[in-house]
Amino acid sequence: MRIRELAISGAWEFVPQLHGDSRGYFAEQFKVSEFERAVGRPFDLRQVNTSTSAAGVLRGIHYTEDPPGQAKYVTCLRGAFLDVVVDLRPNSPTFGQWDSVIIDGTQRNSVFVAEGLGHALLSLADDSTTTYLCSLEYTPEFDRDLDAFDPDLGIDWPTTDLDGNPLTYIRSAKDQVAPSFRDTFHLSATDH
């Protein structure tokens, strides 16, 4: 497995080795020993989620109030997503910055998102499917959202799908009214 830390501390990409033959392929998608060696801590699995999205579906930016926080290990099973990680830890040197990785069903790469980081997925193909391991069960009272199109974050969202067709962004009602980064973290115009 190839592993690399993203530009945001606490976020990692994991790319498994695919073993293929005439029957298909096999991959070790998550291996505790390799995860702990790279990240330096265990992953406490509490819930597994799966979602399927049409091209243009944008889920996020979502995060869990920290503490308790929620870590995620996100894998694309089919199609492709732009996986975006945003640093929401006020004392971090990369607070308010973001990084992204394309995860897809061909490479089967995964992204680990530590507690205190925001996360968003943009589907780049119809029927894109992701599964994610979570360190905390769904707890609505800790759930938070940020506006994915907030100019203060400046996320460079793709405007076309994998085939070069224009994307129409599709967001939930909740995501459409998510607060700004500046309002959420009570920043002045000169902060950040």
Q: Return the active site residues.
A: 62, 132
Domains in the chain: boundaries: 2-184
As a whole number of angstroms, the distance between CA 3 and CA 24 comes to 24
- The DSSP output letter for 79 is S
Give me the numbers of helices (H) and strands (E) for the chain, helices first please: 3, 13
Task: Look up residue 59 and give its amino acid.
Answer: R
Q: Which of 113, 133, 129 is nearest to 63 (CA)?
A: 113
pTM metric for this prediction: 0.95
Q: What pLDDT does 189 receive? A: 72
Q: What pLDDT does 192 receive? A: 63
Q: What pLDDT does 124 receive? A: 98
Give how far Cα 10 sits from Cα of 38, 41, 116, 192, Å. Answer: 11, 11, 9, 20
Distance of CA 8 to the CA centre of its chain: 12
Below-70 pLDDT ranges, the chain: 192
CATH superfamily of 2-184: Jelly Rolls (2.60.120.10)
